[in-house]
C-alpha cells in the first residue's frame, strides 16, 4: 500500500492489547507532528520515525496518513461526546437548565478547539478531506439528536420538528463562531467567544419566548 490509496479510514480496529498500544503510539506520534507542523507536515515516514516503528508495520492499521487523521478526528469527536454525556449526567428539570447546560458545553467545546492546535487542524480543517468532513457531519447530527432527546420533554409536541431544526442550527452556530474565534487575532479571541456565547444564549431565549407566545395564543 502507498500513501496515495483512496481509502482514508483505518483498516481495522485492533483487539489485542499489543496492537492497541501500537495504534495509540502511532496516533500520539501524529498528534506531536500536527502540533508542530500541522497535518500538511504528516507523512508515513515521519510518523514512523516519531513513533519509533517501521512504516511497514503502520500499514497493518492505516492505509495512508489520511486514515490516521480520520482516526484522530474520531478520537476527538468521542471526547466531545463525553463532554455532552458528562454535562447531562443529571437530567435537567427545566428549559432554563437545558439552556444553561448547553452553554456550558459551548464553553467546553470552544475551549478545547481554541487551546489544542491539533483539534483546530483536524476538526476545523475537516473540509479538506471528504471522509473526515462526512464523519464530522454525522457527529454533528448525533450531537443534535442527543440534545433533542434531552430538550423534547420541555416543549409541546407541535413544536418538536422545529425544535429539531433549531438545535441543529444552534450547534452549527457554535461551531462557526468557535472557528471565527480561532481565526481572529489572539487578543480578540476571548471577546469573539464572549459575544458568540451571548448571541447563542439570546437565540435560545428568543426561541423559548416564541414557543410560550404560541402556547398562550392557543389557550
Quick one: which of 17, 3, 145 has its CA closest to 62? 3
Write the pLDDT tens digit of every residue in 44-101. Answer: 999 999 999 998 888 888 888 888 888 998 888 888 888 778 878 888 999 999 999 9
pLDDT, position 133: 84
- Per the prediction, the chain carries an average pLDDT of 86
- Under a CB-based contact definition with an 8 Å cutoff, are residues 2 and 56 in contact? no
pLDDT band at 10 (very low <50, low <70, confident <90, very high): low
Quick: pLDDT tens for 94-149. 999 999 999 998 998 898 888 888 888 887 765 467 788 888 899 999 999 999 99
Query: Contacts from 209-218 at CB under 8 Å and sequence distance 24+?
Result: 211/155, 211/156, 211/159, 214/159, 215/156
Domain ranges of the chain: 72-218
CA-to-CA distance for 49 and 52, rounded, in angstroms?
5
Over pLDDT 90: what percentage of the chain? 47
Separation of CA 24 from chain center: 20
- pTM of the prediction? 0.80
Number of helical (H) and strand (E) elements in the chain, helices listed first? 9, 0
Contact 124, 72 (CB under 8 A): no
Amino acid at each position: 500500500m502507498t500513501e496515495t490509496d483512496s481509502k482514508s479510514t483505518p483498516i481495522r480496529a485492533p483487539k489485542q492489547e499489543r496492537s492497541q498500544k501500537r495504534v495509540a503510539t502511532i496516533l500520539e506520534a501524529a498528534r506531536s507532528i500536527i502540533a508542530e507542523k500541522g497535518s500538511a507536515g504528516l507523512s508515513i515516514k515521519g510518523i514512523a520515525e516519531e513513533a519509533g516503528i517501521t512504516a511497514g508495520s503502520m500499514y497493518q492499521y492505516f492505509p495512508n496518513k489520511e486514515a490516521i487523521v480520520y482516526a484522530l478526528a474520531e478520537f476527538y469527536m468521542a471526547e466531545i461526546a463525553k463532554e455532552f454525556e458528562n454535562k447531562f449526567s443529571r437530567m435537567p428539570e427545566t428549559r432554563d437548565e437545558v439552556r444553561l447546560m448547553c452553554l456550558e458545553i459551548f464553553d467546553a467545546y470552544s475551549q478545547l478547539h481554541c487551546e489544542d492546535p491539533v483539534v483546530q487542524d483536524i476538526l476545523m480543517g475537516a473540509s479538506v478531506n471528504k471522509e473526515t468532513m462526512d464523519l464530522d457531519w454525522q457527529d454533528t447530527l448525533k450531537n443534535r439528536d442527543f440534545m433533542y432527546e434531552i430538550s423534547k420533554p420541555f416543549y409541546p409536541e407541535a413544536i418538536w420538528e422545529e425544535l429539531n431544526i433549531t438545535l441543529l442550527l444552534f450547534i452549527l452556530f457554535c461551531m462557526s463562531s468557535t472557528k471565527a474565534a480561532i481565526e481572529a487575532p489572539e487578543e480578540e479571541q476571548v471577546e469573539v467567544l464572549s459575544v458568540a456565547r451571548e448571541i447563542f444564549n439570546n437565540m435560545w431565549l428568543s426561541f423559548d419566548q416564541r414557543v410560550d407566545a404560541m402556547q398562550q395564543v392557543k389557550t
